[in-house]
Amino acid sequence: MASISRRSLLTGLVAAPFVLRAGAGRADTTNIRFSLSAPFDGSNAAFFLAQSRGWYTDAGLTCQFDMSGGAGEVVSRVASGVYDAGIGDINVMSEFDAKNPAQAIRVVYMMYFRSPLSVCTLAKSGIAKPTDLAGRKVGAAATDGAYRLFPAYVKATGLDPSGIKWDMVGLQLREAVLSRGDVDAILGFDSTMDFGLQKTGVKPEDIRFLYYADAGMDLYSNGIMVSQKLRSENPDAVKRFVAVTARAWQAAIAEPQAAIDALQKHSPLINPTLELAKLQWLIKNQLVTEESKADGLGGIRPERLAKALATLATTYNLPVALKPEDVFDPSFLPSADLRKLPI
């Protein structure tokens, strides 16, 4: 889309959605404590774009956005009720829901239509296929979705995991241990690892990925998940939050530089060039797919999600067989104009 048409689109979005004036003149304001699935980076810039432009405030919402250590931490935060909502991996959440039905939470807006889960290594490692990981040392964060779903990857690829030596590190140290040569590979989201390695001085052409998706794991990934308490006690606030967030992502896709500028105002120490590239990667590889082009962002195709849930049930020997409606609630989706990709 040419820049002039992007500006036209954003101008139209400023006036269109009901959420923009939903909070004007309101006496009540709903506080939303929201957990991101990563540090402050390009992957969550859209939230800060909406916040900087006052869209959440206009919708009667006061939002606090906190970084986290990964999908597992997001699910724990939201399920406990300490956080009202968050963005995290629907597969990690589904495993939790099956094992903890009394605390079950739901995704209400799907963001990542292609899973970024992957094994990352360097060209010099000689790791070219999943079975090459046998006997190698792998770094991972215990709360990260890629580590939580590694047993499913093992099953899909026939890899013998018994000889793998694990180096459990935090998300902030994961790329450093690979660049230093302390491990042979790491697990995580492709863009996070790629740009994290570049920050340590690794050249992009030296980075290699083995995608879970290429092993037949056709998974959805990150989506907006909401606590039981907020969904049941204040569904209108959930609808307003989702609508503003949908609009924010439309704006970030149309004008990624504006999103990064908003992120930098919130977190001045970021590298804006790298974070812009990360956001553009995310848009190209996770958000924009044939499915999202046809259906828009936010929703899911039940047959695809059902297949993924069946894979999880087998992998984790789950106590209950989850159905799509057990993990995804479409009742909070905004109108089609807010879900449409601006490309």
Specify the pLDDT at position 171.
83
Strands 137-140 and 207-211: unpaired
Mean of all residue pLDDT scores within the chain = 91
For 69-76, what is the mean pLDDT?
92
Fold of 3-113+221-339: D-Maltodextrin-Binding Protein; domain 2 (3.40.190)
Residue 26's pLDDT band, with cuts at 50, 70 and 90, is low
Question: Which DSSP state fits 300?
Answer: -
pTM: 0.86
pLDDT digits 0-9 by tens, 178-187: 999 999 999 9
Specify the pLDDT at position 17.
45
Radius of gyration over every alpha carbon of the chain, rounded to an integer in angstroms: 20
Residue 28's pLDDT band, with cuts at 50, 70 and 90, is confident
CATH for the stretch 117-215:
3.40.190.10
DSSP H or E stretch at residue 154: helix 150-157
Q: Tell me if 319 sits within 8 A of 102, measured CB to CB.
A: no
**DSSP symbols for 186-204:** EEEEHHHHHHHHHHTT--G
Give the CA count within 13 Å in the CB-facing half-sphere of 47: 29
- Fold equal for 3-113+221-339 and 117-215: yes
pLDDT digits 0-9 by tens, 54-66: 999 999 999 999 9
pLDDT at 253 over 60: yes
Specify the pLDDT at position 86.
98
Q: Tell me if 313 sits within 8 A of 98, measured CB to CB.
A: yes
End-to-end CA separation in angstroms for the chain: 6
Alpha-carbon span 36 to 222, nearest angstrom: 10
Q: Quote helix, strand, coil % in the chain, to nearest 5.
A: 55, 15, 30
Alpha-carbon span 242 to 287, nearest angstrom: 16
Q: Tell me if 67 sits within 8 A of 96, measured CB to CB.
A: no
Alpha-carbon span 119 to 209, nearest angstrom: 6
Give the CA count within 13 Å in the CB-facing half-sphere of 17: 32
Q: Where are the domains of the chain?
A: 3-113+221-339, 117-215
Beta-bridge partners for 148: none
Contacts of 257 (CB under 8 A, 6+ apart): 276
